[in-house]
């Protein structure tokens, strides 16, 4: 019995020493690596895998590592460099979607963002609350409030069109076709109204995320478009003036 206890104790000590003889590298994505750290430079960490000490030497950027717990028990924590944060992370710590640049249209960048990543900030330019409340009062109004006028009119048109179909069906309610039209119109109204509310909130969140990620990015927008105005005086009267307008926005 004493031999069994002694053997168990020896095995436990062996495992304990084995566990303490390794370094634990914790990456920012949550993964941990059992390793033997060889060198920590200003920008990177060099190591070999704990189970493959004779294997290849790996190099990992310090910006990808959150901490290292050494075999002695000491823990070293790393902070991302400013250049890395500026290049890959938005002002709220999110990863900036690839391909984002100033001057993009909403339909171009909307598919690159997940509104669930949105966290409210006091300096947000667009309001998710008014996006929802506006479209609750008038379908599409929330989109218009948040700068998507064309999108707002699309929801308004869908809601009005559904109401017209419902009205036509209700007037001819005794007819079988009238009943079908009334049901289709009612379903269309319900769908358009609810969708407009949800989309009004979504538009504001996505536009806020896009605005944060493009702060500080340089952009030059050159436009040339027709110009028409009643501004040129001629014998105390105004005459129409037509031409081309050239504008440059920075």
CB 139 within 8 A of CB 159: yes
Residue ranges making up the domain that contains 76: 22-83
Q: Does the pLDDT of residue 28 top 80, yes or no?
A: no
Q: 26: Cβ–Cβ under 8 A, 6 or more apart, which residues?
A: 32, 65, 66, 67, 68, 69
Count of domains in the chain?
2
Predicted confidence at residue 66, as pLDDT, reads 86
Which CATH number does the domain housing residue 40 bear?
Answer: 2.30.30
Q: How far apart are CA 89 and CA 208, in angstroms?
A: 15
Q: Quick one: 159 and 204 in the same domain?
A: yes
Q: Quick one: 26 and 62 in the same domain?
A: yes
- Average pLDDT score, the chain: 79
Please report, in angstroms and rounded to a whole number, the separation of the first and last CA atoms in the chain. Answer: 84
What confidence tens digit (pLDDT) does each residue in 45-60 have?
Answer: 999 998 888 889 999 8
Predicted confidence at residue 5, as pLDDT, reads 52
Does residue 178 belong to any structural domain of this protein?
A: yes
What confidence tens digit (pLDDT) does each residue in 59-69 have?
Answer: 988 878 889 99
Q: Quick one: 76 and 28 in the same domain?
A: yes
Percent of the chain surpassing pLDDT 90: 39
């Amino acid at each position: 019995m004493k031999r069994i206890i002694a053997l168990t104790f020896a095995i436990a000590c062996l495992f304990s020493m084995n566990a303490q003889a390794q370094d634990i590298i914790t990456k920012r994505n949550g993964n941990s690596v059992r390793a033997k750290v060889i060198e920590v430079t200003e920008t990177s960490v060099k190591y070999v895998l704990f189970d493959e000490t004779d294997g290849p030497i790996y190099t990992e950027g310090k910006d990808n590592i959150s901490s290292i717990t050494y075999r002695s028990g000491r823990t070293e924590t790393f902070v991302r460099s400013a250049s890395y944060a500026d290049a890959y992370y938005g002002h709220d710590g999110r990863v900036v979607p690839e391909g984002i640049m100033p001057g993009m249209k909403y339909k171009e960048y909307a598919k690159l963002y997940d509104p669930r990543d949105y966290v409210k900030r006091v300096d947000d330019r667009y309001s998710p609350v008014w996006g929802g409340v506006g479209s609750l009062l008038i379908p599409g109004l929330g989109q218009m409030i948040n700068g998507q006028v064309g999108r707002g009119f699309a929801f308004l048109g869908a809601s009005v069109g559904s109401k017209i179909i419902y009205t036509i069906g209700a007037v001819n309610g005794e007819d079988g076709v009238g009943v079908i039209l009334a049901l289709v119109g009612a379903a269309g109204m319900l769908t358009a109204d609810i969708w407009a509310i949800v989309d009004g909130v979504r538009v504001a969140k996505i536009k806020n995320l896009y605005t944060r990620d493009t702060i500080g990015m340089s952009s030059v927008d050159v436009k040339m478009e027709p110009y028409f105005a009643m501004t040129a005086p001629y014998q105390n009267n105004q005459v129409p003036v037509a031409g081309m307008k050239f504008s440059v926005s920075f």
